[in-house]
Chains A and B, each alone.
Chain A
Amino acid sequence: MTNGDPSVVVRDLVKKFGDFVAVDHINLEAQRGEIFGFLGPNGAGKSTTIRMLCGLLHPTSGWATVAGIDVAREPDKVRERIGYMSQKFSLYNDLRVIENLRFFAGMYEVPASVLPERIRWALAMAGLAGRESSLTATLATGWKQRLALGCAVLHRPPILFLDEPTSGVDPISRRQFWELIHEMAGEGVTVFVTTHYMDEAEYCNRLVLIYRGQIVASGSPAELKQRAMKGELLLVECEPLGRALEILEGAPGVLDAAVFGNALHVVAPQAGRADSTLRPYLNERGIRVTRVEAIRPSLEDVFVSLTTMRGAPPAAPGVPQDEPAPEERPS
């Protein structure tokens, strides 16, 4: 495969659970060696998409190829070429670390000649060297996740699907985990990763924002920030926050306003002009303004801006909600 060949191609992919449309005509292409981020709140359809790409769910319509193979037609051929880490930890807790590694090496037919070296490598990567005989259940979440990654890459797959690999992991472990992902991408592995942590999305080469089963934006993090915002972003520190938000939502020259922490993020066509008009406008209405400053938007701003444009209430990313349907297995 030459560099730049599409590793994952998705066309008009749809998945319905009864009346509920979990994934709604999704199109995307991930290139070899890139970290492809799939960003969205819980329940947006990220896991459903990734499960279809691994052949665990059958698409309602549309198609997808992974490493050039149709997933719906030849799922087992696809499975030989991918590594998958599911959202919930799903290794065997009652097996030892080494037993889990050996088991998955067996499932992926890792040749006996390279097995010891691969296992050594996986243990080193997961930081579990010396803990081979620990029961998996006794590991902390960060180590468990890295062991799961280790098990998923023992057969050196060209494509890796990681479904929320860092949820519930402490910040230091999260950072280490992303360093691993970068290393693998550097070796040419295509990493398809979902997350609902906006800060993690910055690590990706390319991003797709998914909301209610639909792709609302895609591009590199920088592109997204530039393109998606229909104006410039201002940070407004003022008191009281709630009333200020109400006033600004109808104010002239304001495209959007939202609470971020203990300040407001305000989108205006021109940040320079807004600065001079906004302060007196708020002061006249009894709001004490302490600071107005033009800032660079974060992905979270982009996300809020995009979802409010669609006329939907901005479902705050990062707020845990239950992923629908796919978790339940209809009998």
Chain B
Amino acid sequence: MNLSRLAAVAHKELIQIFRDPRSLLVVVAMPIVLMFAYGYGVSFDIKRVPICVLDQDGSQRSQDLLKRFQSSEYFRVVNVAGNYREVLADIDRGHCQLAIVIPWNFSQRLAAGGKVEVQAVADASDNNTANVSMSYSEAVIQVYSQQVQLDWLKRHGMAGAGGVSAPIRVDARTWFNEDLESAAGIVPGVVVMVMAVVGTFLTSLTIAREWERGTMEQLISTPVSPMEVMLGKLAPYFVIGILDTTLCAVMGVRWFGVPFRGHWSVFLFSSMLFLIVVLSLGYFFSVVGKSQLAANQMAMLATFLPTFLLSGFIFPIDQMPVAVQVVSWVLPARYFMTIIRSVFLKGTSVAQLQHNLLVLAVFSGLLAFVATRAFHKRLE
């Protein structure tokens, strides 16, 4: 291998990237767009659910309860209905996803110490949102109900000076993502997605472009070796890939407010390994596909869906059927996903990640080897 020849290939490739608006767009705009698209698009947080309220009672107490809905960050009262028909119409037209109906005898029954039922009507065409907003509304009502109970006990002189509280309470601590913000869970995964997609996309063009433009014939008529071609072509994308990865991480921390608890060196090292994987893969597709379109589609197919579905990005791997779990073992993104999540949220040490790092290193070596073997200096 000749280093000056390798450098000449790398230099040429770099000039071409910066002279081609499309490549430049992929390099600069794609990571940013994808970060925003996934960072905001993929979210399990349900907040500010539009609700409609109908207060048939119109008393101090019923207004008290509704105020709790109004002040909750999970709900947004979009309509105060005058009658039940209006409530149904709101749900039908999709103006609200949940309706709270307080019956006419609400305060009367409460005063009498009796039981009373508040109706919650949910639009379950989006069952996830319906489920979550139902349990939110139950929680709001539960808290109010306890307050009412306490008041009743106090009034009847049954509560002591220390007050009364429920005997058992769960003191829940959600580690690593204390506020259970889904952004924290999603954004590190988005970094993996962006790297996989951008990495393979970039290199999937390199060889195919030379074939399509007819420049390959001249290139392979020179004494340049396949190894020099590959390393020379991948080197600029490797540097660009590292910059893109850093950009994504900074966006995750600064814009999406995700913590970064691990060490940057672990992040950088594992990112480099993963970049070798995706760049080699893209290069391989470029050699095999021989047209930019074919290579591009192969790259998308091989990275986008598997990373989205099988890497643990959205669906937990241990909840998958065993057969699917087995498939995920051969997915380098799966190991990188674990590493990146740990680095961002847990700050896990290298020692604890060594298994994942090792597997990732093996994959990067394997794919780089396959890529070097794929390209031959022949026209047929």
Interface of A with B (CB < 8 Å)? Answer: 51, 54-58, 75-77, 79-80, 82, 84, 86, 88-95, 99, 102-104, 106-109, 148, 151, 326, 329-331
Q: How many residues of B contact A (CB 8 A)?
A: 31
Interface residue from A56, A77, A151 paired with B217 (Cβ < 8 Å): A56
Contact A86:B290 (CB < 8 A) given known A79-B222, A103-B8, A107-B223: no
- Are the CB atoms of B15 and A99 closer together than 8 Å? yes
Q: How far is the CB of A209 from chain B (nearest CB, A)?
A: 25
Contacts of B224 in A (CB 8 A): 107
- Are the CB atoms of B378 and A86 closer together than 8 Å? no
Nearest neighbor of A75 in chain B, beta-carbon distance: B377
Contact A103:B217 (CB < 8 A) given known A51-B379, A57-B379, A109-B2: no
Interface residues of B in 366-380 (CB under 8 A from A): 377-380
A237→B217 CA distance, assembly (Å): 47
- Report B197-236 CB contacts with A as 1/0, cut-off 8 Å: 0000000000000010111111111111100000000000
Q: How far is the CB of B13 from chain A (nearest CB, A)?
A: 10
Between A and B, 11 residue pairs with Cβ closer than 8 Å are: A56-B217, A57-B380, A86-B218, A90-B218, A103-B12, A106-B11, A108-B223, A109-B2, A109-B5, A148-B218, A151-B218
Contacts of A51 in B (CB 8 A): 379
Contacts of A90 in B (CB 8 A): 213-218
Contacts of A93 in B (CB 8 A): 213
Nearest neighbor of A112 in chain B, beta-carbon distance: B4
Q: How far is the CB of B318 from chain A (nearest CB, A)?
A: 40
- Report B341-380 CB contacts with A as 1/0, cut-off 8 Å: 0000000000000000000000000000000000001111
Contacts of A106 in B (CB 8 A): 4-5, 7-9, 11
**Which of A57, A84, A103, A326 counts the most chain B CB atoms within 10 A?**
A103
A75→B224 CA distance, assembly (Å): 11
A88→B234 CA distance, assembly (Å): 27
A190→B283 CA distance, assembly (Å): 38
Nearest neighbor of B20 in chain A, beta-carbon distance: A94
A107→B377 CA distance, assembly (Å): 14
- Are the CB atoms of B20 and A84 closer together than 8 Å? no
Contact A102:B8 (CB < 8 A) given known A58-B380, A76-B223, A95-B15: yes
Q: How far is the CB of A100 from chain B (nearest CB, A)?
A: 9
For the complex, would chain B's binding face be called helix, strand, loop or mixed by DSSP majority? helix
- Is B115 close to A, CB under 8 A? no
Interface of B with A (CB < 8 Å)? Answer: 2, 4-5, 7-9, 11-12, 15-16, 19-20, 211, 213-225, 290, 377-380
- Are the CB atoms of B12 and A95 closer together than 8 Å? yes
- Are the CB atoms of A94 and B222 closer together than 8 Å? no
Q: How far is the CB of A91 from chain B (nearest CB, A)?
A: 6
- Are the CB atoms of A107 and B215 closer together than 8 Å? no
- Are the CB atoms of B221 and A92 closer together than 8 Å? no
Contact A107:B222 (CB < 8 A) given known A56-B217, A56-B378: yes
Nearest neighbor of A89 in chain B, beta-carbon distance: B214
Q: How far is the CB of A165 from chain B (nearest CB, A)?
A: 13
A291→B55 CA distance, assembly (Å): 116
- Are the CB atoms of A331 and B290 closer together than 8 Å? yes
A95→B219 CA distance, assembly (Å): 14
A157→B6 CA distance, assembly (Å): 21
Nearest neighbor of B213 in chain A, beta-carbon distance: A93
Contacts of B216 in A (CB 8 A): 90
A56→B223 CA distance, assembly (Å): 12
- Are the CB atoms of A329 and B290 closer together than 8 Å? yes
Contact A329:B215 (CB < 8 A) given known A57-B379, A108-B222, A108-B223: no
In the A-B complex, list the 4 residue pairs whose CB atoms are closest, starting with the nearest: A106-B8, A107-B222, A90-B218, A84-B221
Interface residue from B9, B16, B218, B223 paired with A80 (Cβ < 8 Å): B223
Task: For the A-B complex with A57-B380, A107-B8 known, give 20 more contacts whose Cβ atoms are closer than 8 Å.
Answer: A54-B221, A56-B220, A56-B378, A56-B379, A75-B377, A76-B225, A84-B221, A86-B214, A90-B217, A93-B213, A95-B12, A95-B16, A99-B12, A102-B8, A103-B8, A106-B5, A107-B5, A107-B222, A148-B218, A331-B290
